[in-house]
Amino acid sequence: MTDLKNIKAFAFDVDGVFTDGSVLAMDNGDLLRIFNAKDSFSVRTARVNGFPVAIITGGCSESIISRFNSLGIPSEDIYQMSKNKLPDLQHFCKRHGLELKDVVFAGDDVPDVETLKAAGLGICPKDACVECQEAADVVSDFCGGKRFVRDIVERTLRAQGKWKFDPDQPWGFSYRDEVNAAQFKSGRHV
């Protein structure tokens, strides 16, 4: 297993990792997902500390882009409709000057198996499919959507002395225009 002190980036599947796998199908074809705020906070903290983060998912929706852009993940690092996830992880690594050994990859289902094996640290939630549990370096004590993402990000940042929160420090990236407009309307600044 890769030492957490050597991790330089994170890559995540979405459904079953950031969520419990449940989706609500809307009339317009979009699928709504529920995200855990603690997972989201950890991703923002990783981004503030300079960690590149990739989203590599078989899903596809504007809501995925919107959600992860709001956490500081650029659209270029969001790979949707990913059936074979390893080439997308390799592209992400090349884009950021990383090697596979530098990256944590988190997945929970059969399309994630090859990528779990190839990453520096493959991790899956405790409710992942059997194939992922066998392929992963680590099976978390947490289920998908229930602080699973927070667990690996926080452990990694703590191992590197980077798990800290300074309320006076800006997040270090721009929120969407409507969030910026709301902060000025409310008088609160991010």
Q: Domains of the chain: which residue ranges?
A: 4-186
Structure tokens at 68: 């992860």
pLDDT of residue 34: 85
Least confident of 18-22, 122-126, 150-154, 175-179: 175-179
Model confidence at 74: pLDDT above 90: yes
In this structure, are residues 121 and 105 in contact, taking their beta carbons and an 8 Å threshold? yes
% of the chain surpassing 70 pLDDT:
87
**CA 15, 92, 59: angle at the middle one, nearest 5?**
25
pLDDT of residue 186: 47
Q: What is the pTM of this model?
A: 0.87
- The listed CATH number (3.40.50.1000, 1.10.3720.10, 3.30.310.50, 3.20.20.70) that belongs to domain 4-186: 3.40.50.1000
Model confidence at 54: pLDDT above 60: yes
In this structure, are residues 107 and 118 in contact, taking their beta carbons and an 8 Å threshold? no
pLDDT of residue 190: 45
Model confidence at 30: pLDDT above 90: no
Model confidence at 87: pLDDT above 80: yes
Structure tokens at 107: 């997945």
Condensed to tens digits (0 to 9), the pLDDT of residues 155-184 reads 999 999 999 877 776 665 555 554 554 455
For the chain, the average pLDDT equals: 89
pLDDT of residue 167: 76
Model confidence at 41: pLDDT above 50: yes
